[in-house]
Every structure is written in structure tokens, then in C-alpha cells.
Amino acid sequence: MNDDHIDFGSLDPLRDPERVERALRKIARRAAPLLAARRAPRTAFQQVARWRRPMLAAAAVIMIASVSALLRFGGSSAESAPPTVAEVVGVPSTLAGWVRSDSLPTPGEIVVSLETTQ
């Protein structure tokens, strides 16, 4: 093990300011065409075309997630229909049937329906 101090003076940018300025000018000169291309106005189609790869990647992720969810939880089958809005809200099927039909229920049917829902 060596306890001598390491001289980092050669890494000091203030030691040779002209060298640093030359490097900065060289970087700016090389970056100028790229920066000009970024500043140029684009049409909506050109902008969407630039997003092509990220959009395709996002679509692939969504597709993989959807396919895996369908395989895991199963697709729609003929025997199980999705629940209706009335079922989700908790409206009894008899009341929902009265709403869909043109006939009015009798007061007795309403009382019986309300007693069975409680």
C-alpha cells in the first residue's frame, strides 16, 4: 500500500484554458448539424414518423400484456355472458325486467319484489 498523494493536476481544466476552449469549439462544431436538424420545423406526419419505433415498442408491450392476460384469465366463452349494468349496480332482475318492458307491475308484485331484495 502506498500512502503517497496522487497528483491530479493534469486533469485540472484551468491549467490549460486554450486546450479546453479548443475542445469546446470542436464539440460545438460537431454538434451543430444535429442541433440544427432538431431545431428545424416538422410537420405532424414527420413527428409521428419519428415516434415510429417507440410506438411499435409500446404496441408490442400492450399486445404481450393483453395476450398473457387472456391466456391466464381466459377469453370470453359462450356460457358466461358479461354482467349487465343493472346487475353491477345491484338492481334485482325483476325490477330491471319491468324497466325494459312496456307493462307496469302491479302493486303486489312491487311489494313482493322489494321484500325479497331485503
Q: What is the pLDDT of residues 22-38, one digit of tens each?
A: 999 999 999 999 999 88
Task: Check if the beta carbon of residue 113 is closer than 8 Å to that of residue 92.
Answer: yes
Rg value, the chain, Cα: 36
What's the gap between Cα 103 and its chain centre? 47
Instruction: Please write the tens of the pLDDT for every residue from 38-47.
Output: 888 888 888 8
DSSP state of 6: P
User: Are 96 and 86 spatial neighbours (Cβ–Cβ below 8 Å)?
Assistant: yes
pLDDT digits (tens, 9 = 90+) for 38-80: 888 888 888 888 889 999 999 999 999 988 888 877 655 556 6
Task: Return d(Cα 99, Cα 93) in angstroms, integer.
Answer: 10
Integer Cα distance of 105 and 118 in angstroms: 19
Burial letters 38-63, b for 16+ CB under 10 A, else e: eeeeeeeeeeeeeeeeeeeeeeeeee
Average pLDDT over residues 83-97: 76
- pTM listed for this prediction: 0.34
- List the grid coordinates of 28: 460545438
Which residue type sits at 55?
Answer: M
Can you give the residue ranges of every domain in the chain? 84-118
Q: What percent of the chain has pLDDT over 90?
A: 24
